[in-house]
Amino acid sequence: MTEMIKLYDASKCTACRGCQLACKQWNGLKAGQTEHKGTYQNPPTLQHNTYMLIHFQDYVAPEGNVKWLFRKEACMHCTTAACVTVCPSGALYYNKEFGTVGMDREKCIGCKECVSACPFEVPRYDKETEKVSKCDMCETRISNKMNPACVKACPTGALKWVDKEEAMKMAEARVQYLGGDANVYGDKFVGGTHLMYVLPEKADVYDGIHKDPKVPVTISLWKSILKPLSLLGAGGVIGGSILHYFIHGPHKPHPEHYDEPKKQGGA
């Protein structure tokens, strides 16, 4: 496996939204009903038919300067992906070639377990198809040695599709070059993500960013403890019943329980 990273350098992004449109086009997604919120950010959040979105944010820096911050939001393609762990149908899976998280919508049963589990609030449910959807890193493209559609569309070089080692080097070099609060986002949690950011500002100043994403601990309780326990418990009871039957024997009436004394019975 050559782990691949989609590296998004926010300092090079002009928020042209070429990627957002390319994503819609490649995946054949129609525009949905939206709402004007006094910003170019449109639609306001990810939707079942919007797998990625550029965030626009007016940010007043501590020195008093107003900055316009951009951020690409999409599935982060976690190395330890909560969604894959909980998905009961196999609709969500790890791509063995690149380490990304693919999705087979045919298999999705719309149980929404991934919606609750994902620490980045990525999967979105569609009432009409009763299925969930998310970015699959353009699996049909990357498997055929093409760049993801959003990367291909990016005119400024803010988006790159590169192998992990190189991506980490590029990101580090860029952080050095930018200086100040610049940092890499995506390498420190959930085993590392396959969408990573270079951010010119501290991560916490970005609206809607997940500061400390974690795979919910309840998932291991659910999947690693209770799940096997359900079979162990039932198996134990069946075994116990058989033992009881042969050692103690069934519960039978005593002679005194009969109207007239009889020979039969008696435990």
Partner 1 sequence: MKNKMVVVTSGYERFVHWALAISCLTLCYTGLGILFKELNFLGVIFGGLKGLVTVHDFMAVIFAISLVLAIAMWWKEAGIFVFPEDWEWIKAAGGYLWHLDHVPETGKYNPGQKAFFLTVALCGLLMVVTGFFMWYPEKLGGDLMDWVYVLHVLGFVVIFAFFFVHLYLGTIGNPGSVSAMISGKMELPVLRMLHPKWVKEMEHEGKLMIANDKK
Contacting positions for partner 1 (CB under 8 A): 86, 88-90, 107, 109-113, 115-117, 121, 216, 218-219, 221-222, 226-227, 229-230, 233-234, 236-238, 241, 244-245, 248, 250-254, 257-259, 265, 267
Cα–Cα dist 212/53, whole Å: 21
Q: How many angstroms separate the Cα of 203 from the Cα of each of 51, 161, 208? A: 22, 22, 10
Q: Which does 97 bind (CB under 5 to 8 A by kind): ligand HEM, ligand SF4, partner 1, none?
A: none
The number of residues making up the chain comes to 267
**3-class DSSP state for residue 5?**
strand
* Residue 219 touching ligand HEM (CB under 6 A): no
The amino acid sitting at 55 is: H
Does 113 participate in binding ligand SF4 (rule CB under 6 A)? yes
- Per rule CB under 6 A, is residue 81 in the interface with ligand SF4? yes
Distance CA 198, CA 177 (A): 11
Residues within window 82-101 making contact with ligand HEM, judged by CB under 6 A: 88
- Half-sphere exposure in the Cβ direction for 8 (13 Å, CA): 28
Instruction: Provide the token pair at 4.
Output: 């691949």
Sign of CA dihedral 167, 173, 174, 180: positive
Interacting residues with ligand SF4 between 114 and 153 (CB under 6 A): 114, 118, 120, 122-123, 132, 134-138, 148-150
Q: Decide: is 160 part of the binding site for ligand SF4 (CB under 6 A).
A: no
Among the listed residues 76, 77, 57, the one whose alpha carbon sits nearest the alpha carbon of residue 67: 57
Contact positions with ligand SF4 (CB under 6 A) in 204-223: none
CB of 100 to ligand HEM, least distance (A): 24
Name which of 19, 22, 16 is nearest 7 in CA terms: 19
Query: Is residue 115 involved in binding ligand HEM (CB under 6 A)?
Result: no
Residue number with CB closer to partner 1 (61 or 238)? 238
Q: How far is the CB of 107 from ligand HEM (least distance, A)?
A: 13
Q: Identify any residues that bridge with 183 across adjacent strands, giving them in sequence order.
A: 199
Least CB distance from residue 133 to ligand SF4, whole Å? 9
8 Å CB contact between 22 and 152: yes
Q: Which region among 30-38, 55-63, 69-77, 180-188 touches ligand SF4 (by CB under 6 A)?
A: 69-77
Q: Which is nearer to ligand SF4, 78 or 170 (CB)?
A: 78
Indicate whether 111 belongs to the interface with ligand HEM (CB under 6 A).
yes
- Interacting partner of 253 out of partner 1, ligand SF4, ligand HEM, none (Cβ under 5 to 8 A depending on kind): partner 1
Q: Nearest to residue 48, comparing CAs of 64, 65, 31, 67?
A: 31
Residues that bind ligand HEM (CB under 6 A): 88, 111
